[in-house]
Amino acid sequence: MSTSAILRRAADLLRAQLEPAAQLLSPEQGKPLAEAQTELRVPADIIE
């Protein structure tokens, strides 16, 4: 498996778990849900 395929898969997995992870992150850090979602979406975009 190539490095790019591994990174793409990691980004896909992060996006697949975005909503549940954001729901945990939001109250933990006291941020709105939309902001927590962005904090998870941006790294997925970067690694892809």
Q: Identify the pLDDT of residue 48.
A: 86
Task: Tell me the pLDDT band of 38, cut-offs 50, 70 and 90.
Answer: very high
Task: Tell me the pLDDT band of 23, cut-offs 50, 70 and 90.
Answer: very high
- 47, HSE (Cβ side, Cα atoms, 13 Å): 16
Q: Which residue has the higher pLDDT, 1 or 5?
A: 5
For residue 20, pLDDT beyond 90: yes
Q: Identify the pLDDT of residue 15.
A: 96
Percent of the chain whose predicted confidence (pLDDT) is above 90 = 96
